[in-house]
Amino acid sequence: MHISDGVLPTSVTLAGFALTFAGAALSLKQVRAEDLPRIAVVTSSFFVASLIHLPFGPTSVHLLLPGIVGALLGPVSFLSITLGLFLQSILFQFGGLTALGANAMMMGLPAVFCGLLFRLLRGKTLKMHTIAGGLAGGLGTLLSAVILAALLFTAGEDFLGVAKLALLAHLPVVCIEAGVSAFIISFLFRVKPELLNPGGFPRHDR
Amino acid sequence: MTGNLEIYLSGAVFGVILGAFLLVFAAVLLIVRKKPGVRFQGATADWTLPALDAYADRSSFFHGWDPRVKIATIFFYCFAVASLKSLLWSAMALCIGIVAVIACRIPLRRTVKRLGAMAGFLAMFLFVVPFTSPLRQGEILLYLPFLHGIPFHGHGFAVALRIVLKACAIGLMMEPLLATAALPVTLQALSRLGIPDSISQMLLLTHRYIFVFLHETKRIYRSMRVRGFRPKTDIATMHSMGNFFGMLFVRSFDRTQRVYDAMLSRGYNGSFPSFTHFATTRKDWCKALLWAMIGLALIWLDRFRGYSTW
């Protein structure tokens, strides 16, 4: 779920922008010049992944994958998610331009947190990786939904109902997200485990 | 509570209103009906990507504006609109948005599609907020048949309508903001405005890669369907989709290595050479002044009447 323009009070949108700039600047500090093209690649592959819809009963949901971004990129995931959301906003109008800061906080903070959680929980075995991946994936979406509800609530008491509904609507997505994330991590562990190593992604040896 | 205008709707009146609403809805659906484009059988996602700057080579009020000044001004204007509090001036902002889109000579169908992307989110507000907002003194309450327990709050409806108006008003401004200059030029302008150079480079690369990976995704998904994959709500689908995403990431990473090596061998040193030269004339500043004044006037008129939802 992306918050559109005109919902949040101006003070909240401006604070969101300030925090997002700070977060992105912190992320950017950890990035070396030669990493830029690779972060672009991760960002666009997650952008594409979020366009794919999975059937859920009569309707369909699309995945957000903040947990997986965090697991693959670590702290840099905040930057990646901010860029992805900016592009989604300007290409599709998913999430408004003025709400971009708030949206980036909503998705970026859970990604960074779940990345840390994943690093802590995963052991050496496939089973532990799968469980940690599922937890990170589900928790990432759940935290995003909680932040979304909190942001909507800052817009006034009129939005309490919407905030509750949005939180409720995310619960099935959390389950699907946890399942798919677990399978993604288990696939990556078996096929290309170096993607899950600390440092995010393989370095060039030049 | 006293001072509230309570209106009880009978079943017949409600039926007529609902019928009229459904008719309008069906008419809108007919008008904006999607043409069969690149779509997969059974897949519900729209896999087509809009080309953001397809109409960047036309000429208009916005095309001729120096991108740096244009971006800064419209960004400010968007925040001005977002902070409006009354319905009247939010509606006025929407009208200004429509005029701006017409002025930048971009097909309306594109703009309608852009606004359509917000429909789900905004519909949630329109349907939920009027029924769940708290009771206020002196507001209109509408009691619908079968729903006597939860009245339709006039104030809540005004709040939701205001959000829809403002979201559309700002959404419309995205066309003059982004579609009236080529994307590299827009990003170049962004980095002149203080966005770190590396960010605008990453945006440019990401935008380029999205099309590449979308192609890759279509290939993988087509081969899955050829092998009999039909998405359902079950564990097996999650397993297949997990592997699908995993494969997408693995291939993207592999591809990066090759692309990055190719970039290095062509002399990439961390920045792209730029051949865009920006020149700000007095005309650009006049346009900026005009547009900023419109934004400020909206806020002033909005606040001048004192705080009221209407």
Q: Which residue of A has its CA nearest to B176?
A: A90
Q: Examine residue B129 and state whether it is found in any structural domain, yes or no.
A: yes
- Are residues B77 and B104 located together in one domain of the fold? yes
Contacts of A60 in chain B (CB under 8 A): 44-45
Residues of B in contact with A204 (CB under 8 A): 257, 260-261
Residue closest to B213 by CA, chosen among B252, B259, B241:
B252
Q: Is the pLDDT of residue B38 over 50?
A: no
Question: Is 0.90 topped by the overall pTM?
Answer: no
Q: Are A50 and B212 in contact (CB under 8 A)?
A: no
- Tell me: do B177 and B195 sit in the same domain: no
Q: Please give the interface size between A and B, counted as residue pairs whose CB atoms are below 8 Å apart.
A: 247
ipTM above 0.90 for this complex = no
Could you say which of A57, A195, A201 has the minimum Cβ distance to residue B233?
A: A57
Say whether B270 and A34 touch across the interface (CB within 8 A): yes
State which residue of chain B sits closest to A158, comparing Cα positions: B133
pLDDT at B41 over 60: no
pLDDT in tens, A83-100: 999 988 888 888 888 899
Same domain, B83 and B149: yes
Give me the phi and psi of B6, to 5 degrees please. -105, 125
Same domain, yes or no, for B167 and B247?
no
Q: Which two tokens stand for residue A142?
A: 């759940």
Residue B249 lies in a domain: yes
Q: Are A195 and B254 in contact (CB under 8 A)?
A: no
Q: How far is A94 from chain B (nearest CA, A)?
A: 7
CB contact (8 A) between residue B241 and residue A156: no
Q: CB B170 to CB A98 under 8 A?
A: yes
Would you say B69 and B278 are in contact if contact means Cβ atoms under 8 Å apart? no
Residue B5 placed within a domain:
no
B142 falls within a domain: yes
pLDDT tens digit sequence for B249-295: 888 888 777 877 888 899 887 677 777 788 888 889 999 999 999 99
* Interchain CB distance below 8 Å, B263 and A165: no
Do B169 and B261 sit in the same domain of this protein?
A: no
Burial of B265 (0-12, 13-18, 19+ CB in 10 A): exposed
- Determine the average pLDDT of the residues in A8-31: 89
DSSP state, residue B10: P
Q: Does B238 share its domain with B292? A: no
**pLDDT (0 to 100) of residue B37:** 41
Number of domains in chain B: 2
Regarding whether B166 and B291 lie in a shared domain, the answer is yes
Residue A123 phi, psi dihedral angles, 5° rounding: -95, -130
Is residue B99 a part of any domain in this protein?
yes
Cα dihedral B198, B200, B201, B205 in deg (nearest 10):
140
Q: Quote the percentage of chain A above a pLDDT of 70.
A: 94
The alpha carbon of A140 is separated from its chain's Cα centroid by a whole number of angstroms, namely 7
CA pair distance B59, B63, nearest whole angstrom:
5
Amino acid at position A132, single letter: A
Tokens matching residue A107: 């998705």
pLDDT greater at residue A63 or residue A17:
A17
Q: Do B75 and B137 fall into the same domain?
A: yes
pLDDT averaged over every residue in chain A = 86
| pLDDT band, very low/low/confident/very high, at B180 (cuts 50, 70, 90) | confident
Residue window 87-116, chain A: list those with CB within 8 Å of chain B.
87, 90-94, 96-98
* B90, B171, B245: residue with CB nearest A184: B245
Among B78, B214, B237, the residue with its CB nearest the CB of A97 is B78
Q: Which of A58-72, A188-202, B208-222, B275-289 has the lowest mean pLDDT?
A: A188-202
Domain carrying residue B260 = 191-266
Q: Please tell me if residue A56 touches chain B, with a CB cutoff of 8 Å.
A: yes
Closest CA to B186 of B74, B71, B275: B71
Instruction: Name the nearest CA neighbour of A188 among B250, B69, B206, B241.
Output: B250
CB contact under 8 A, A4 and B167: yes
In a domain, B38, yes or no: no
Residues 55-74 of B with CB under 8 A from A: none
Q: Is the pLDDT of residue A201 over 60?
A: no
